[in-house]
């Protein structure tokens, strides 16, 4: 491993059999920790939590125009929040004519699904 590659991601200490006081759990796999961090980061905004509440309780996909009407925010801000949730894999979207419709991702990871269940 090159010195530059070693600096790109901190390495964890090797697992210890016994700590100084109590044994500790081994670290989570890096990919899983990264996935959880991205999910929590995407959920770290009150507007996005409200959007997820709307989606979790909706029986059909929700039009972006309905989100714009539900919040005292402009369409670009709503689109930014929806894009953040989509980039994190929490929601999916499709176009129908000029409108975009959003729904919870049917392939939502279990950890994210549990969080959304608390919101809905």
pLDDT confidence of residue 7: 54
- Specify the CATH number of the domain 61-120: 1.10.10.10
CA–CA dist 4, 85 (Å, integer) = 32
Is the whole-model pTM more than 0.85? no
Q: Is 40 helix (H, G, I), strand (E, B) or coil?
A: helix
76: pLDDT strictly greater than 90: yes
Task: Tell me which residue of 57, 58, 99 sits closest to 79, measured CA to CA.
Answer: 99
DSSP 58: -
Every domain of the chain and the residues it spans: 61-120
DSSP 98: T
Give residue-wise pLDDT tens across range 12-66: 766 655 667 777 788 889 988 888 888 889 989 999 999 999 999 999 999 999 9
């Amino acid at each position: 491993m090159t010195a530059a590659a070693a600096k790109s991601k901190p390495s964890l200490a090797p697992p210890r059999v016994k700590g100084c006081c109590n044994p500790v759990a081994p670290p989570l796999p890096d990919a899983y920790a990264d996935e959880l961090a991205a999910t929590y980061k995407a959920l770290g905004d009150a507007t996005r939590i409200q959007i997820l509440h709307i989606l979790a309780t909706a029986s059909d996909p929700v039009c972006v125009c309905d989100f714009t009407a539900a919040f005292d925010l402009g369409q670009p801000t709503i689109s930014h929040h929806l894009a953040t949730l989509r980039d994190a894999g929490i929601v999916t979207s499709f176009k129908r004519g000029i409108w975009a419709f959003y729904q919870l991702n049917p392939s939502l990871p279990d950890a994210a699904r549990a969080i959304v269940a608390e919101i809905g």
